[in-house]
A and B are shown apart, each in its own frame.
Chain A
């Protein structure tokens, strides 16, 4: 059953790659997304019995991340279909510099998108740390062509940095795997099976284990966007086409985080919780600080969103590092951030299409030119900034509560950074929606395909924030329990 979550998109990818028919391509993309979501829904309703020693499996933590990936992919793929139809296939002038470029062929793009889904699903399903590594590295490889969709030199540069920095970073995680094997040497047979490791954790060598965790943290942290390893992230997110940015920011980053969480599970089981907790807290606050300060007076609004992702990954890491109720907060935060950031990136795509500029200064009066997108943009900004009824408010409050009890100074830094980020994001984002639209910007109504997905995401956020549905709450609590939260 769960294998099909990986196989289905892979087969669909092959099919898409083979065919030239646009209709079939779109059908494959949407069909796979829907089927995948339905499968995940079924799995969430009746989780499969955990089988020991299996390489693939679904625990509550994996399930949460799988749900995020699958639901996000569904909505993004709906948007993508419209997006690809709107994107011209022939060469055209670049927005920022004068030269021609043409997009990647759609079959390659869609196939890679499906492969991206397959690899991310594999990440959430892996019960073996070696397999997990392979899957995470595979997500990089599958998404690199996605980043390089607009074939011009800026996206090329972004792709190169994405590939190189992430590959080198993830290589550290491979080293972490080796260290884990070293820690297990002699005490466990199949060294990297998660279940075996968890069982044998108390007998593992402590120093090797800690080294392994830290290497995982650096390795997967690079992919997750923790500062100072986040450097690829703003480039890739700003240059990738908007639906891809949405997936990268919403789904990919937390998939990488899953790698860290798996290592943390082992560490917890071995009784070395404190190392993981303090490292996560440190990286969390540092990432928040770096992300926040780069949001201040940011000129490029997609980069601003990217740095906001750095900041929010910091918050998630901090929440997990604090543990207790904050772990629940972190899980809720991961979920809501995924939705909010994806909605923002999709709307940013709409703004970009209309204003033909990524410079925040060029975008003015969006409420006049494209009221629906502008309203969603404002809603997304406020949601990501943690203004109720955003669920991010609930998660941040939960994290704050725990921080105040555990580490008051961390709580102070947390709040101060949140406040700066709030002011800075709105400083950039508010004037884009408000004011008068420049002359020459079209006031035509927008296509429904460009609005449906972000609107659905906004609605989901509203529901989450106003009345966290009980099944979702159970899902989050299950996930939080796995990483030692209450």
Chain B
């Protein structure tokens, strides 16, 4: 369900973010559906492979796309359980994202380009802290809900979780938002639109990709944004009406709201100096920890 929605709507979400930014900047901006056109254009192009590269370069974008799609298959659509749900599926989700990162970074190194190498280096370095924060955030969710499958946790959220541990969930949501921004190469951590190679992270990695490979990468990035937005939306708006379609609708609305919020943040903030990024990420992890401490059961029992 979630996977299907994401495959359909993820470019739209990217469009929402872009549009929000454009509006705030006083520009008209690209149409909402521009991302779909971009992807189609890329898919129709012929790729150019550097003679340095190997099959790794060619396979990695699709591996990474498959991994993110797999992660989406584990994500509940709002309160609706995901098609694949089992205790501990959140771990698989985190490690599928890691697989995507692993593949992209290797592809970057495969080009032998100094910029791609630099991007991969930074991506992996920030990934360390981002992954830590994400796992802690999810663990905090486990602590709060007492369930250890994503779909089950989502199911637990409306029933009193917000009531019993609102403070914990607020912190958690803040942490998740931060993680969303860094995992998707957003300001203040990275700038998806920059053209100065030395300051890029994610974009620097994919400099050499083109055609269908770039489409896979871009598509993967959009799916990833959707994934995090959806997770965040589930946490902040676990709306349960009783009618599944209404719930889904509410969820989609929440996701769109998250997209707008991301656009607002990107417009309102400046990019952090690279050296400050780890501090911010550590702050996210601490937020997640703190949310765990505030979780029911009187915090962490010794």
Query: Do A and B share a direct contact in the complex (Cβ within 8 angstroms)?
Result: no
Using a CB–CB distance below 8 Å, which chain A residues touch chain B? none
Using a CB–CB distance below 8 Å, which chain B residues touch chain A? none
